Structure formats: C-alpha cells, structure tokens
C-alpha cells in the first residue's frame, strides 16, 4: 500500500475532492483525519472508511478560525500519534463572486478567509506536527484559474487561489531542508457540487466545457489520484510545484514564456 503507516489530515473532507481523497488515501493504508464544517457529512465519510476496514476520525472545524485549526491538528496527533500528510483542501466558490465592481466586500472577505487564510492556518499549525514526525507532505488545493484568467468572472476565488500558489512556492523553499514538501494541485473544472452549484444551467456548463480540450468535466477521484502521488514517497523529489490536472485547459490557453 502506497500510504501504509502514514497519517493524513484532509480539510473539506465531507464532499467533493476531500471526500474522494479521504477514501483513496484510506484504501492505500493511511489513517485519515477527515475535517469539514458539515458535521453530518464528515462523520458519514469517516464511518464509510471505518466500515471498509480503514482507520478514520471525523473532526468538525472551521478552517478560517485559528483555534479550530490548532485543535484539528492536535486531535489528529492524539488519535493517530503523528501527522505525515496535510491536505489543505477546504474552499468555497461563492455564487455572488464576480468582477471588481460587482463583488461585495463580504464575499471577498469570506472567500479569502476560507480559501487563503485557511491554507495559511493549516500550515501554521500543521508544519510543527510534520516536523515532529520527521517530515512529510503538504498539499494545497489551488486551481487552474490561479494560472490564467477565468472565462466567467470570479475575482475573489481567482485571487485566493493565486495566493495559494504563491504561498506554496515560498513554503516549499523555506522547508525543503526539513524533509517537508509543499505542492499545490491546480484542478480544472470538476463535476462536483461546488462547481455545479455555480454552473446551474446547461448554457453555463456548455460555456465552460467549450474551453476544455478533453470535452468533459473532471471527476473528484481524478484529483484524489494526483493527491495520492504527492502524499506518497513516490514524489520524494517533488516540491514547490503547481500540479495541473485540468483536461488540457492551460496547455490550450496559456502562452509559454
């Protein structure tokens, strides 16, 4: 098993990428701390893992609150004795996120608090735990829009994910000599509740699909598979990267330097 003896903490673990990754990691032998603000969802995922013979603990936490993030890391170490993989995955895409003129300040602040501050807090409290374990892997969920403009205005989301990529690069450099690797996954559009709630009509979905060379939305498990590589020892010489899993969008639209 690719994650045997490792402990992973996954935020946003109640649905979408987080839930798919929690199941995938557990299937590869990891003990998983599943974190989400939705208590019912996170307990459901943890129970499913345990029913399949895996080890999991459900933690309800708001990743934008420092005390909650500190507690989720402490709970993980108490439950499993160590932390080897930190997947800062929790995020939102607000339906009222637009351009600079139309996005309300409250939408901007909420998006930054969860998508960017939440990653920083995860690293703030997770890095000491990884250090106590002798090193490990941090995976931060960014987005393909961190590398290019979005076809539909979503300024707060795009800016927050750009910040995640920049923070990932710097943390990778800072902690490289401590055996702590830090990488960002940049998913393309996925068939998850998060995006489908925004693309709530066939016309909106078709507009997004026309930009994807593969002609389809990605699936959460496809991102979970990418996270598995970054969590495992197979990626031992990989740090500071933007791991793009986007169906070819950036290849088609980003101009090489």
Catalytic residue annotation: 157
Distance CA 36, CA 167 (A): 22
Distance CA 10, CA 184 (A): 14
Q: Alpha carbon 213 to chain centroid distance?
A: 23
Distance CA 122, CA 164 (A): 12
Q: What are the angstrom distances between the C-alpha of 100 and each of 40, 164, 194, 232, 242? A: 35, 20, 22, 40, 26
Are 163 and 116 within 8 A, CB to CB?
A: yes
**CA nearest to 85, candidates 195, 9, 30, 178:** 9
> Which residues are CB-contacts of 46 (< 8 A; sequence separation ≥ 6)?
22, 32, 34, 56, 57, 58
Question: What token pair was written down for 118?
Answer: 């939440």
Give the containing element (helix H, strand E) for 9: strand 7-11
User: How large is the greatest C-alpha to C-alpha distance in the chain, in angstroms?
Assistant: 51
Q: Where are the beta strands (DSSP E) in 128-213?
A: 136-141, 180-187
């Amino acid at each position: 098993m690719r994650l045997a003896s490792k402990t992973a903490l996954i935020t946003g673990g109640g649905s979408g990428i987080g839930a798919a990754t929690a199941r995938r990691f557990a299937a590869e032998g990891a003990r998983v701390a599943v974190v989400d603000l939705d208590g019912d969802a996170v307990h459901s995922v943890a129970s499913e893992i345990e029913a399949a013979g895996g080890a999991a603990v459900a933690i309800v936490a708001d990743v934008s609150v420092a005390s909650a993030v500190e507690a989720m890391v402490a709970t993980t170490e108490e439950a499993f004795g160590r932390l080897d993989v930190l997947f800062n995955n929790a995020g939102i895409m607000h339906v009222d996120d637009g351009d600079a003129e139309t996005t309300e300040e409250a939408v901007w602040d909420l998006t930054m608090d969860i998508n960017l501050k939440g990653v920083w807090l995860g690293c703030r409290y997770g890095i000491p735990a990884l250090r106590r374990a002798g090193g490990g892997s941090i995976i931060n969920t960014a987005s393909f829009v961190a590398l290019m403009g979005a076809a539909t205005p979503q300024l707060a989301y795009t800016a927050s994910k750009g910040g995640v990529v920049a923070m990932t690069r710097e943390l990778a450099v800072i902690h490289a000599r401590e055996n702590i690797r830090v990488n960002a996954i940049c998913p393309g559009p996925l068939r998850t509740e998060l995006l489908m709630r925004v693309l709530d009509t066939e016309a909106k979905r078709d507009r997004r699909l026309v930009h994807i060379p593969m002609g389809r939305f990605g699936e959460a498990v496809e991102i979970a598979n990418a996270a598995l590589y970054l969590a495992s020892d197979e990626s031992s010489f990989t740090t500071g990267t933007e791991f793009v899993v986007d169906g070819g969008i950036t290849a088609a639209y980003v101009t090489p330097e």
